Amino acid sequence: MRILVTGAEGFIGSHITEALVRAGYEVRTFVFYNSFNSWGWLDHCDEDVAGKFEVFAGDVRDPNGVRAAMKGCDAVLHLAALIAIPYSYHSPDTYVDTNIKGTLNIVQAARDLSVSKVVHTSTSEVYGTAQFVPITEKHPLQGQSPYSASKIGADQIAMSFYTSFDTPVTILRPFNTYGPRQSARAVIPTIITQIATGNSQVKLGALSPTRDFNYVADTVAGFIAALKSEKSVGEVINIGNNFEVSIGDTAAAIADVMGAEIEIVSDEQRLRPEKSEVERLCAANDKARELLGWHPKYGGLEGFRRGLQGTVEWFSKPSHLERYKSEIYNL
């Protein structure tokens, strides 16, 4: 079975690529074309995986390239997207083009080529601030940032191809994934890299919002379970721990794991506009358990601390840390 993974060069995509190769799948990766011929994190994948997958360089905004990449593939895991919320405030057009039009190109090609499964990646950000917890898949969708609005649009485009054309689409909705290779624009790497480079003052935005953090191994397991499950077609499925923790408590937990004493300093440029801040996220995961047989192996406080330990160990290696600019706020 040949799987196309879009966004394979990124944080979650590279981990999925490695897991699929190890599971015996044929993998074709779709990476963003660039003049440096960089394959992102795939350039640094584990030795047992290197050279065991195809690479197609293109742009999901281009329907011709998407179709060419998908030919001969049995299923698609679609992760390619723009995901940084602050960047979406000043460049919203690019989010519409990449996230919505890119998803349209994926499902249109999948329909035309009779692909057997499309797993489309959503995000917990589409829920906005929780109106009730735990958040089920029936929670209202609230576009509190251009990013979340573009992902709502992408989700609806993907599902419309299931309802209109019976394209076998599954929408997987991971809550906040963290772990090795994550971008420094995310809060956990931001905290770790500042401490690891010797800063006792850690610059952060709002501390009170809560998040339901998923260790990347759990998120990857959710994607592979969705790929295998016949019950997942036509469904929206949360991947989350059903455990929430505030950003302030997250910083304290990381400092404890790293054996550091820190002072948190409020950095105004890291604050979202007031109405755009998502104040609370906590996932209901009953549907994932029922339809996918998935459950978090890094669940609860104990699992969160284990995930943080693994993440800290990876970021603390000099060869990894040097790839991050901890002194600069990363949009």
Contact 55, 9 (CB under 8 A): no
pLDDT of residue 172: 98
Residue at 47: amino acid letter = E
Residue 201 bridge partners (DSSP): 263
Q: pTM for this one?
A: 0.97
What percent of the chain lies above the pLDDT cut of 70?
100
Task: Enumerate residue ranges in the chain where pLDDT < 70.
Answer: none
The residue whose two tokens read 């990766």 is 29
Dist CA 63 CA 257 (whole Å): 46
Contact 226, 288 (CB under 8 A): no
pLDDT tens figures, 52-74: 999 999 999 999 999 999 999 99
pLDDT of residue 107: 99
Question: For residue 73, what are its two tokens?
Answer: 């593939």
Helix (H, G, I), strand (E, B) or coil at 209: coil
Q: Of 17, 57, 52, 53, which is closest to residue 37 (Cα–Cα)?
A: 57
Contact 154, 176 (CB under 8 A): no
Residue 223, φ and ψ in degrees, nearest 5? -65, -45
DSSP string, 4-29: EEETTTSHHHHHHHHHHHHTT-EEEE
Residues 6+ apart with CB under 8 A from 322: none
Domains of the chain: 2-177+214-239 (3.40.50.720), 183-211+243-283+299-321 (3.90.25.10)
Question: For residue 143, what are its two tokens?
Answer: 């576009």
Please give the DSSP secondary-structure letter assigned to residue 276: G
Dist CA 262 CA 207 (whole Å): 14
pLDDT of residue 330: 72
